[in-house]
Amino acid sequence: MRRILIIDDEDEILSLLNYLFTQLNFEVVISPGVLSIDEIEKISPNVILLDNKLGDKLGSDLCLEIKGDPRTSAIPVVMLSANDRIEYIAEKSCADSFISKPFDIEKLNKTVKKVMVKKVSNNKV
């Protein structure tokens, strides 16, 4: 089963995304805050949805850690943010893609599928 890790500090967003991805046959793991690389490695998600604003921490910093560690660097990361500079933030943090909040559920689903397919394609080369 595909596993998605959703990191967001807003309970409503976590609940909505948990429901959505459960309906799409994902095993969903949610976190209201930053996780360590060790914790992410143990969860072993196929994809990560990562909010950029996590209380007093930044998801972009965590994304750089994820992408900079050989144990987690291949995990696709989709950044989420209401920040109008999310495209720039996602690029600078080495995220695989981004979605602006408020998000369109269909666009979010397509983006997650796209980064997962890209990862599978890259692993076959």
Q: Which residues contact 8 (CB under 8 A, 6 or more apart)?
A: 14, 17, 30, 32, 49, 50, 51, 54, 80
Across residues 12-26, what is the average pLDDT? 95
**What pLDDT is recorded for position 122?**
62
Six-digit token string for 20: 């959505």
CA 48/CA 17 separation, integer angstroms: 12
Q: How far apart, in Å, do the first and last CA atoms of the chain sit?
A: 23
Q: What is the pTM of this model?
A: 0.93
25-81: pLDDT as tens digits: 999 999 999 999 999 999 999 999 999 999 889 999 999 999 999 999 999 999 999
**Domains in the chain, ordered, with CATH?**
2-124 (3.40.50.2300)
Task: Give pLDDT tens digits for 80-116.
Answer: 999 999 999 999 999 999 999 998 999 999 999 999 8
